[in-house]
Amino acid sequence: MDQDSINLFRDKLDQHYQWPTLYTFKFIVPKGKEQLVKDLLPNHSVSEKASREGNYTSLTFQIMAQSSQVIIDIYQKASAIAGLIAL
């Protein structure tokens, strides 16, 4: 993600949320990479659902985020996981 995209995303988050706020992350990852995503948010509960064929897992987290930067940091770390789709 380039800096302009990050700034645009930050602006959108700040327009739509008042911090702190409850924020939901939803990721889809290839089977076997679930723990990599869980390690990004180790102190938060997660809801998991396997795809019909079992090749992917949907992971949903809700966190109390203190700022838009917290959200951006998590998405940036998640982007390093091969095959991850962020919704």
The model's pLDDT over 11-69, given as tens digits with 9 standing for 90+, comes to 999 999 999 999 999 999 999 999 999 999 998 989 999 999 999 999 999 999 999 99
pLDDT of res. 67: 97
**pTM for the predicted model, two decimal places:** 0.90
Taking the domains of the chain in order of start, what are their residue ranges? 3-86
pLDDT of res. 28: 97
- DSSP H/E element including 3: helix 3-16
- DSSP H/E element including 24: strand 21-30
CATH of 3-86, one of 2.60.120.200, 3.30.70.260, 1.20.1070.10, 3.90.400.10: 3.30.70.260
User: Is the CA virtual torsion 25, 28, 33, 34 positive or negative?
Assistant: positive
Q: Is the pLDDT at 1 greater than 90, yes or no?
A: no
pLDDT of res. 37: 96
The pairing of beta strand 21-30 with beta strand 85-86 = antiparallel
pLDDT of res. 77: 96
